[in-house]
Amino acid sequence: GQSLEQPSEVTAVEGAIVQINCTYQTSGFYGLSWYQQHDGGAPTFLSYNALDGLEETGRFSSFLSRSDSYGYLLLQELQMKDSASYFCAVPFNTNAGKSTFGDGTTLTVKP
Amino acid sequence: GAVVSQHPSWVICKSGTSVKIECRSLDFQATTMFWYRQFPKQSLMLMATSNEGSKATYEQGVEKDKFLINHASLTLSTLTVTSAHPEDSSFYICSATSGERAYNEQFFGPGTRLTVL
């Protein structure tokens, strides 16, 4: 089976840096993805790591350590619009659509 | 590119009726689409994998006779909730993967909020 753990809530202020951790247990590993979901909306893809290390995309970065079965999403220069739920996900196989999602981390950005 | 639409965006129905939700890939061909269900403040739960031209594959615990999935073409999958009951009220989201990005990225539709009275 597959399971993921991430914190349920995180709060930070505008301009700050936040790290959302995700640990996983999988029978086979194909990569770790991150998705953002605003309240009432659909998830949108943020990043994907298949190999160890840091991937940077603008204000967001994602890190993976396969030996530790651990990854994180780093959000810098937080803005109010970053308030959302963030999900880590692992695919069952080589097709990312068949994925197990973590329970999500609700990020609240305060002025 | 890689836009997925869903229709309707919300629906309210009476208990016992059936509801059909459409999922379309607008600018790419999706041989495989996925249906998820999400309760408020909870994670996405994969319900089934929809393959064009063949029967859907359901996840454990999902009733295939309750949630009928049809993948009529490379751009359209439908989910029909049959004889809906209040406990079926939820947010239903479809997704699709495309070509070389199937490995790491899925594109979600905007979701359909179903309320069964």
* pLDDT of chain B, 117 residues: tens digit per residue: 688 999 999 999 999 999 999 999 998 888 789 999 998 888 999 999 988 888 899 999 999 999 999 988 889 999 999 999 999 999 999 999 876 666 667 889 999 999 999
Please count the residue pairs, one from chain A and one from chain B, whose beta carbons lie less than 8 angstroms apart.
64
Yes or no, beta carbons of B103 and A44 under 8 Å apart: no
Task: Answer whether B11 touches A (CB < 8 Å).
Answer: no
Average pLDDT over residues A66-78: 97
Token pair for residue A68?
């530790």
Question: Which of A86-90, A95-99, B37-41, B110-114 has the lowest average pLDDT?
Answer: A95-99
Neighbours of A76 (CB within 10 A): 15
| Cβ A100 vs Cβ A2: under 8 Å | yes
- A3, A100, A101, A108: best mutation site toward chain B, by most B Cβ within 10 Å? A101
C-beta of residue B83 within 8 angstroms of C-beta of residue B70? no
> Would you call B3 an interface residue with chain A, using a CB distance cutoff of 8 Å?
no
Say whether the peptide bond before residue A7 is cis (omega within 30 degrees of 0): no
Contact A48 B105 (CB under 8 A): yes
Q: What is the pLDDT of residue A61?
A: 97
Q: CB-CB: which of A50, A87, A95 is closest to B102?
A: A95
- pLDDT band at residue A30 under the 50/70/90 scheme: confident
Q: Which residue matches tokens 């009476």?
A: B14
Residue B111 to residue A30: CA distance in whole angstroms: 26
B-chain residues within 8 Å CB-CB of A104?
A: 42-43
End-to-end CA distance of chain A: give it in Å, rounded: 41
- For chain A, what is the mean pLDDT? 92
Judge: B106–A97 Cβ closer than 8 Å, yes or no. yes
Angular region, A109: left φ>0, alpha ψ -120 to 50, beta rest: beta
Indicate if the pLDDT at residue A81 is higher than 70. Answer: yes
Please state, in angstroms and rounded to a whole number, the distance separating the CA atoms of residues B33 and B93: 11
Q: Determine the pLDDT at residue A38.
A: 94
Residues of A in contact with B49 (CB under 8 A): 97-98
Question: Closest by alpha carbon to A20, among A35, A10, A31?
Answer: A10
The mean pLDDT of A1-5, rounded to a whole number, is 86
Percent of chain A with pLDDT over 90: 76
Q: What is the pLDDT of residue B100?
A: 61
Q: pLDDT at position A98, please?
A: 80
The answer to whether the Cβ–Cβ distance between A44 and B108 falls below 8 Å is yes
